[in-house]
Amino acid sequence: MTFSICVREPYTDDDGDSQLRFGVAVTTRLPGVGTLCPFASEDGAIATQSLVNVELGRKGQQYLADGLAIDDALEALLNADSGRENRQLHGVDAETTFAFSGDACKDWYGHTTGENYTVAGNLLTGEAVIEQTAAAYESTAFGEEPLASRLIDALATGHAEGGDKREDLPIQSAALQVASTEEFAYSRFYNDLRVDATETPIDDLRTTYEAALRGYETTVEKYADAYEDDDIDAAE
């Protein structure tokens, strides 16, 4: 009842140091997908969906933080899950990718993987949804636009291709998370966004992202001195 994309991107920061960013974006024809499916940290990105088991995402991130490779971590969790065949689970870590679609998932369902990404979906209009989502990301991979913006573009392409096939469910949701190994002076809250209930999830996620980005830039400009001095009296 969902389609999603997980991404890993190596990059060089302003100091010339090698870093990694991880992102996940997801949409479905149900409310509140952002509370259940996407998980991103400095160790990797994971999406858990179909008949959702949230613990696969939570524990998966714990295992990544402990140093397990994502294929070992997620396969171990699935092996201990009695509902394994109802699950879709996929993601990326610093070096590898993993994608699984259980045989009991609802058609159309499936997944695809690339060198730095995974895409999966179920209850879709067809395979073209995930193919076009992947192609949209590949066309902008490592581009100048922020990863969060490019993930929304990838979702939009899959949605335009048909997306979730349940047209009798008008209330939808979408979410994104982006995390990085780089330490930032200020929390980039525009990288962790949800639209929980709407009939236009991708458009609303885009609008929310753009507003959050403007809000971040305004906040940093206004309160930079206060944060630098760790003193609220320095705020204007």
Mean pLDDT, rounded, of the chain: 94
Question: CB of 9 within 8 A of CB of 151?
Answer: no
- pLDDT in the model for residue 119: 98
Instruction: Return left, alpha or beta for 218; rule: phi > 0 is left, psi -120 to 50 is alpha, else beta.
Output: alpha
Percentage of the residues of the chain whose pLDDT score is greater than 70: 95
Report long-range pairs for 223-228 (Cβ below 8 Å, ≥24 apart): 227/185, 227/186
In whole angstroms, give the CA distance from residue 131 to residue 147: 19
Mean pLDDT of 35-57: 98
pLDDT digits (tens, 9 = 90+) for 72-86: 999 999 999 999 999
- What is the structure's pLDDT at 221? 85
* pLDDT mean over 53-80: 98
| Dihedral of the alpha carbons of 38, 42, 43, 48, in degrees to the nearest 10 | 0
pLDDT at residue 53 above 60?
Answer: yes
235: confidence class by pLDDT, cuts 50, 70, 90: low
User: 3-state SS of the chain?
Assistant: CEEEEEEEEEEECCCCCEEEEEEEEEEECCCCHHHCCEEEECCEEEEEEECCCHHHHHHHHHHHHCCCCHHHHHHHHHHCCCCHHHEEEEEEECCCEEEEECCCCCCCCEEEECCCEEEEEECECCCHHHHHHHHHHHHHCCCCCCHHHHHHHHHHHHHHHCCECCCCCCCEEEEEEEEECCCCCCCCHHHEEEEEEECCHHHHHHHHHHHHHHHHHHHHHHHHHHHHHCCHHHCC
Domain boundaries 2-234, CATH class = alpha beta
> What confidence category does residue 187 fall into, taking pLDDT thresholds of 50, 70 and 90?
confident
What strand order describes the sheet that includes 192-198? 110-113, 117-122, 2-12, 18-28, 172-180, 192-198
pLDDT band at 186 (very low <50, low <70, confident <90, very high): confident
Indicate the pTM of the whole model.
Answer: 0.94
Per-residue pLDDT tens over the stretch 70-127: 999 999 999 999 999 999 999 999 999 999 999 999 999 999 999 999 999 999 999 9
Q: What is the pLDDT of residue 230?
A: 60
- Rounded distance between C-alpha atoms, residue 35 and residue 21, angstroms: 21
